[in-house]
Amino acid sequence: MQEDICPIEELPINSCYSSGYQRECPVIDMQHIIGTCDILFICLDALRYDIAVQEEQRGTTPVLNRYGKWEKRHAPGTFTYPSHQAMFAGFLPSPAVPKSLAEREWLFYPSSVGIGQKAPKGSYEFKGPDFIGSLAKEGYETICIGGVSFFNPKRSDIGKVLPALFQKSYWRTTFGCPVKNSTTHQVNFILKKIQEYPTSKRLFLYLNVSAIHYPNHYYVPGASADSVETHAAALRYVDRALAPLFEAFRQRGETFAIVCSDHGTNYGEDGYLYHGHAHELVTTVPYKHFMLK
């Protein structure tokens, strides 16, 4: 393993691909990250790319804005379950501009699945069915904080599948979609939980934020139905609620963070409602990764 310092200064910005496109996210060398940094993966479940950019440009999401602009990407699935199965297997949302598999930046590279004989430079290659189990073998404590029903093992057997990938998983009623302050409850739980681990113990923590997912009408006073306006208001609430989480991981030490959506959603556009279908507003998602300094 590398020395126990995460080399932020060595992470170059705006690397150009041969196709001529330029990235806005830092190019990360996961070989430096794994084993030296905590990893925080936050999924803003159902967040639409257009709404994320709208609030970014309005300056109403200052916490997330601090870590760079949203990158436009394509979701690997049209609803939570398939999208997470793909992301946990290394297939994070893909660039929304044409790129071959070889040109993409792979943070977690699943070997022996027919996408190439050699892991791209800078990627973390793993051989198991998901990178979470591989991180555990590297010494990480892998923790899942559930949100939507696919992370609720008490509701159904399918709700046990994704949490089972982690060494520790937690879901509470107060973490779920119908609870207005769900993100605050999730973050407060995490703040207490990570105090159980010394800063020398590497953590991989996944947080499924349920607040933006339907129902979200209660984020706009007087609203009786979900809409793009209540969706945006939910994002503004989540932005405020995440601030203590980022600060807590910053206090632990160097942390590599991934923040993205697993799919978007519809509010009546072209006759579509919510998600689970291949509408452009569902398949287009916001993405960013960054170092917490």
Distance CA 177, CA 226 (A): 13
Residue, of 84 and 11, whose pLDDT is higher: 84
* Distances 18 to 30, 98, 139 between C-alpha atoms, Å: 21, 12, 36
pLDDT tier for residue 116 given thresholds of 50, 70 and 90? low
| Lowest-pLDDT range of 20-24, 54-58, 145-149 | 20-24
> Is the per-residue pLDDT at 6 higher than 60?
no
Mean pLDDT (whole number) for 12-36: 57
pLDDT tier for residue 270 given thresholds of 50, 70 and 90? very high
Mean pLDDT (whole number) for 21-42: 79
CATH topology of domain 37-97+129-292: Alkaline Phosphatase, subunit A (3.40.720)
pLDDT over 90 for what percent of the chain?
Answer: 80
DSSP code for 102? T
DSSP code for 83? H
Domain coordinates of the chain in residue numbers?
A: 37-97+129-292
> Is the per-residue pLDDT at 105 higher than 90?
no
What pLDDT shows up at residue 293? Answer: 79
What pLDDT shows up at residue 154? Answer: 84
Distance CA 120, CA 123 (A): 6
Mean pLDDT (whole number) for 106-126: 83
Mean pLDDT (whole number) for 79-86: 97
Distance CA 112, CA 94 (A): 20
What pLDDT shows up at residue 113? Answer: 75
pTM of the model: 0.90
pLDDT tier for residue 144 given thresholds of 50, 70 and 90? very high
- Indicate the SS3 state at residue 162: coil
Buried b (16+ CB within 10 A) or exposed e, 167-206: eebbbeeebbbebeebbbbbbebbeeebeeeeeeebbbbb
Average pLDDT, the chain: 89
Residue 276: which region, alpha, beta or left (left: phi > 0; alpha: psi -120 to 50)? Answer: left
> Is the per-residue pLDDT at 185 higher than 50?
yes
Residue, of 20 and 70, whose pLDDT is higher: 70
> Is the per-residue pLDDT at 110 higher than 70?
yes
| Lowest-pLDDT range of 16-25, 104-113, 118-127, 237-246 | 16-25
Residue 139: which region, alpha, beta or left (left: phi > 0; alpha: psi -120 to 50)? Answer: left
| 198 Cβ contact partners less than 8 Å away, ≥ 6 residues apart | none
Mean pLDDT (whole number) for 268-286: 95
> Is the per-residue pLDDT at 37 higher than 80?
yes
pLDDT tier for residue 114 given thresholds of 50, 70 and 90? low
